[in-house]
């Protein structure tokens, strides 16, 4: 089992696809959570038996939820991208595979555009559209998924292949 992990080389195609998949799932979770929390907040605010302090706490959490998850999304996305760049730089690869990587990146870009379209279809629903506006940074990344994938994929490919041999 250990030999599988020791033989892993940098892979711009797989890294880009995984980053986009995680980003897509993270923002979907955040949007659905925001819809549920907003509905729960509306129910709590309408309940006369609830204490006013409890109503205030839930309302405050509902208001800050979007900024928390939006900043968390951006932080995780950028941090993962940086880690992938560092891992790619530390991998010893041969530049001849750059062309093969570019060919496979085209397929990742097609999948990225599909992910962007799926995201836009999901937020076309009125309740999800309102929740998506709570996440402006994440919403921008997801509505520009193809451009994001191109930047991430090419930066990983360049870091992976445009270096002199790394000894290690």
pLDDT value, residue 10: 56
Low-confidence ranges of the chain (pLDDT < 50): 1-7, 167-168
Rounded Cα gap, residues 157 and 54, in angstroms: 51
Per-residue CA distances from 99 to 86, 87, 102, 104, 167 (Å) = 21, 20, 5, 9, 23
Assess if residue 45 is contained within a domain.
yes
Rounded Cα gap, residues 123 and 96, in angstroms: 42
Assess if residue 86 is contained within a domain.
yes
Assess if residue 5 is contained within a domain.
no
Q: How many domains are there within the chain?
A: 1
Range of the domain at 128: 11-161
Assess if residue 34 is contained within a domain.
yes
């Amino acid at each position: 089992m250990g030999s599988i992990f020791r033989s892993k080389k940098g892979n711009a195609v797989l890294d880009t696809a995984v980053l986009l998949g995680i980003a897509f799932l993270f923002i979907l979770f955040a949007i659905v959570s925001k819809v549920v929390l907003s509905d729960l907040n509306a129910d709590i605010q309408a309940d006369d038996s609830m204490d006013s302090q409890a109503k205030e706490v839930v309302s405050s959490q509902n208001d800050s939820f979007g900024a928390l998850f939006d900043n968390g999304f951006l932080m995780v996305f950028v941090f993962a991208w940086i880690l992938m760049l560092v891992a790619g730089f530390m991998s010893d690869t041969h530049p001849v595979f750059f062309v093969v990587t570019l060919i496979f990146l085209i397929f990742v870009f097609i999948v990225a555009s599909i992910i962007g379209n799926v995201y836009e279809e999901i937020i076309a629903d009125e309740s999800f559209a309102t929740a998506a506006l709570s996440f402006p940074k994440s919403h921008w990344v997801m509505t520009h998924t193809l451009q994001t994938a191109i930047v991430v994929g090419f930066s990983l490919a360049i870091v992976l292949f445009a270096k002199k041999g790394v000894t290690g």
